[in-house]
Chain A
């Protein structure tokens, strides 16, 4: 639980994303939306798509091109059909370094926990 160095702010060009492994073996996605940065989990909360491949940044919006879930990066408002919020690590810039406050890896809950007893499943 601490402020963790992520990368130099110059490492990620405006309107682009970059996947980075930080201390503790945690993968994050750095998003530069021109007027600021977001550090988020590297997968789309919809279908676990790898955002370093499917994510594009334009007009301050991060869009996963697989199924068009999207978030305003300034306000974090969901856009269009998007159903889940984007999880974010708190960030700050210090002397050209991008820092994030990391208290364990942020994860999305993908698998529905609906396992039924097999026998009951087949008899219902």
Chain B
């Protein structure tokens, strides 16, 4: 194949219009801001796991679409979410990433969420319980009953993850939005309480969708050299990407043959409840969450887009809460050997998306990104990504391969193949 000149390089590829993407959707500031408005302020987001707030008055802070969020566990054991913004002067109320309100702080009262700025206080249900010099300043014009926190919809579901949405009236319930995609793992994740044993985050100069793409196809096994040369069998490649409504994709199970993995041991003894020994399921959720159960350890990635070319990815590893210290250490070893920061996959995946991020920085010319592999929906097929960008186009009302056009259902690749025949 000869090299191409500029006109050839920028020409439309000879593929159906769901089989390629215009890279502007990975680099354009305006599209990024629309994604926050149209997608991230509307969807359910798994912001953390309930084991990270295990005791009453524990809290964690995070953000969704730039909006600061605080999640806390009340004395009634209920987990609730609020906007982490003081109703008085808009101060960020809680500045720590996590902690407990049980004990007092120099400028915070025990069992209260206290804004350090003017000492307004809120309880674990978001009620305002104290306004400093309330009567003197507001007389009878404003009282604390009128200045509670903004409470957000929050559910603990699907293995104990804490799901929050900024939309008080979401188009679909969490159950309807995610339930079908989670069916394959529900028995394993809900059999007994889980616990986070690993957390790290990476801030990568790339677009969040490119990370989700990497989680959505296994064709990049060519990058995972050690994976590729050891351990794989025909069943590995025969797995299929199964599409679910709302843009989610599930990669079906197969039995991992750890005997062939150099330096690895079987996960059978510590497999999650109801999971056949050494099996592996993965759920890719729109718009950027990944749940990956590989025998003895569950991995969860959550993206927080920070800009068109910047994403924070939080990685969590989970085991069973009842693990003995020995079992837990084994799970940690299993998790880290594949998925830890120095494991055998993760840094390679990050090299991949960082490289894409480099070539698609804001200001670079728009490129054609190909999603056209057709391999009977097996894991080297790019049908999962095509399914994802259909959903993205609907939410955004933008054609992924031409951001200047409004969304219309894309001609599918299978139709194009049929027409060619």
Contact = CB atoms under 8 A, between A and B. Distances in A.
Nearest to B127: A112
Interface in A87-124: 110-112, 114-115, 118, 121-123
Nearest to B74: A111
A115 to B, nearest CB: 7
Contacts of A66: 109
A112 B74 CA distance: 12
Contacts of B78: 115
Contacts of A47: 109-112, 121, 129-130
A121 B151 contact: yes
A50 B104 contact: yes
A112 B125 contact: yes
B338 to A, nearest CB: 38
B404 interface: no
A48 B151 CA distance: 23
Contact of B75 (A111, A121, A123): A111
| Chain A facing B: main interface SS | loop
B110 A48 contact: yes
A67 B130 contact: yes
A71 to B, nearest CB: 19
Interface residues of B, number: 19
| Chain B facing A: main interface SS | loop
A122 B153 contact: yes
Nearest to A47: B109
Contacts of A118: 153
Interface residues of A, number: 16
B123 interface: yes
A66 B168 CA distance: 36
B130 A49 contact: no
A49 B75 CA distance: 16
B169 interface: yes
A49 B109 contact: yes
Nearest to B119: A67
Contacts of B76: 111, 115
B104 A49 contact: yes
Given A118-B153, A122-B169, A123-B169, A49 B110 contact: yes
Listed residue (A47, A112, A121) with the most chain B CB atoms within 10 angstroms of its CB? A47
A115 B169 contact: no
Contacts of B75: 111
A110 B110 CA distance: 12
Contacts of A67: 130
B172 to A, nearest CB: 14
Nearest to B123: A111
Contacts of B111: 47-48, 110
B112 A114 contact: no
A43 B335 CA distance: 46
A81 B123 CA distance: 21
Interface string B101-139: 000100001111000000001010101011000010000
A110 B111 CA distance: 10
Interface in A29-72: 47-50, 66-67
Contacts of B121: 47
Contacts of A111: 75-76, 123, 125
Interface in B129-169: 129-130, 135, 151, 153, 168-169
Contacts of A115: 76, 78, 125
A110 B74 CA distance: 13
Nearest to B112: A47
Contacts of B151: 121-122
A114 B80 CA distance: 14
Contacts of B168: 122-123
A48 B101 CA distance: 12
A33 B104 CA distance: 26
Nearest to A118: B153
A23 to B, nearest CB: 25
A114 B153 contact: no
25 contacts: A47-B109, A47-B111, A47-B121, A47-B129, A48-B109, A48-B111, A49-B104, A49-B110, A50-B110, A66-B109, A67-B130, A81-B135, A110-B111, A110-B123, A111-B75, A111-B76, A111-B123, A111-B125, A112-B127, A114-B125, A114-B127, A118-B153, A122-B153, A122-B169, A123-B168
Given A49-B110, A111-B75, A122-B151, 15 more contacts: A47-B109, A47-B110, A47-B111, A47-B129, A47-B130, A48-B109, A48-B111, A49-B104, A66-B109, A67-B130, A112-B123, A112-B127, A114-B125, A114-B127, A123-B168
